[in-house]
Structure formats: structure tokens, C-alpha cells
Structure 1
Amino acid sequence: MSPNLESVRSALQTVPGIPCEGEAPIFAEPWQAQAFAMALELQQRGVFSWSEWAAELGAQIKAAIADGDPDDGTTYYRHWLATLERLVSRKGIASTETLDRYYRAWDHAADRTPHGQTIELVAEDFR
């Protein structure tokens, strides 16, 4: 998945709070870049508009703040991921149950993978 530059610029102009260095988004961890790229790809495919994304992300952040999130920027991409999951479920791309199943599988795979190694899903992770 390699988002085009125009899509990145559009996201940066429309979606508030994306951590940036100059005109490029920055990520503390690889999963953050992957979540960003998935959202760009889905937006490019017409699954949602950036305005819809920004409204949903804003609602997610407000709810998190109400629940005690420190709103210091460290959890921004956790909100991004939660927004991605919510929209994917709402749009019928994957059910909440499917997302939960994969979450548990990735968690299991991470637990069995030695530090520094690539995490790979295998059938046993879904049991």
C-alpha cells in the first residue's frame, strides 16, 4: 500500500492534529504509519470522505478525553486506529466480531514472537 502524495496532502489539510515534520506526517511506531496508510487507501477508494473521517476522529478524541485521555498527543494514533475500526465496521467492510477476532489473533501472535522478530499470523493464532 503506497498512498499517493496528493492523498497525503489532502489528509493533512482536512484532518486536524496529524503529527507532522514540515509537510510530512511522522510516526513513532510502524503500526501508526500502517494505520495512516490504510485510512488513506480507504479514502482514495471512496469508502469515506476526509470530512467524514475528521468528524469521526474528532468524536473519538472527545469521547476519549471525557474518559480521562491526557490529550497530550501520545494517543493520537490510537484514536486514529479506533476511528478506522469504527468506520470499517459501520461501512460493512468488516464486522466488529471480525475485527475483535483479528485483534486477539495479533495479540496471541505477538505473545509468541521473540522480541525483535517479525510478527506473523498463523492459523493457531485464531484459536
Structure 2
Amino acid sequence: MSAPDHRAALAATRALPGIPVDAEGPVFREPWEAHAFAMAVTLHARGLFTWPEWAAVLADEISRAQAGGDADCGDTYYRNWLATLERLVAEKGVTTSANLARYRDAWDHAADRTPHGKPIELRPEDFAG
């Protein structure tokens, strides 16, 4: 990022105090946020959706979250990003909402049995209801 772009990014993040920054600019709070960001960029590059489509669905997901009580301070932005990803892959037929729910439940089950600080691994038994 060039110096003017860097300054603009830092100025923009000051307007949203919930977005974490370091000396270089905005950063991800958690690794999963970076993964969600990378998945969106990759799926766009593969032609699954256009950026205008992405922006419209993300705006709708943010509006839904706000209607549900999200204060929209920046700390839930990537939850909306993830909801946008899930919605688009279901709408585009990459997977179904039911399959996404199945994996979400399996992930929760695997996370429950995984000690803090250890990698979460999905096993076949995690998919058993």
C-alpha cells in the first residue's frame, strides 16, 4: 500500500473504532476472519459472484443484523461477511443451507471436545446427530 493509501486506510478505521488496527492499518481480530476474507476473494476470482453482487448481499446481511440489534460498531463485521459467504454459496448452488448447517453443527461438536489452543479437527462422529 502506498503512503497516501496507508494514511487513508488508517483515517477510515478511526471513523469505526471497533475495527482493530496496527501500525500498518486494519487487521483481523481472529484467524477465521482472515480465512473468510480469503474465501470471498477466491470465490470472486473463480467467478462465483461479482463484487457488486457481493456488496449488495453484504449490505443486506448488515441491515438484517442491525434490525436484529447489532450495534454495528465494527466488531461483528466479519460475522456479516461469513453470513454473506454462506448465503451466496447456497444461492449459487455450491452447497445447500442444510449442508452448511450440518458442517456448522459438526464444527461446534468438534470445538466442544478440543482443548483450548489445540487445532479443531472434524471427525466422522462429529456429523452424527
TM-score, normalised with respect to structure 2: 0.80
Aligned to 2:125: 124
The structure whose Rg is larger is: 2
User: Aligned partners of 1:103, 1:24: CA distance in 2, in Å?
Assistant: 31
Percentage identity across paired residues of the two chains: 59
User: Aligned partners of 1:84, 1:20: CA distance in 2, in Å?
Assistant: 22
- Alpha-carbon deviation of 1:66? 1.1
CA RMSD of aligned residues (A): 2.1
Aligned to 1:113: 114
- Runs (4+) off by over 4 Å: 19-25
Q: Which amino acid aligns with 2:107?
A: W
User: Aligned partners of 1:25, 1:94: CA distance in 2, in Å?
Assistant: 31
The runs of 5 or more residues in structure 1 that have no matched partner are: 1-11
TM-score, normalised with respect to structure 1: 0.81
Matched residue count: 112
Q: Identify which range, 115-124 or 25-34, moves more after superposition.
A: 25-34
The runs of 5 or more residues in structure 2 that have no matched partner are: 1-8, 10-15
Residues 66-90 of structure 1 show CA distances to partners (whole Å, capped at 9, x for unaligned) of 1111110110000000000000000
Aligned to 2:93: 92
Aligned to 1:60: 61
User: Aligned partners of 1:25, 1:104: CA distance in 2, in Å?
Assistant: 31
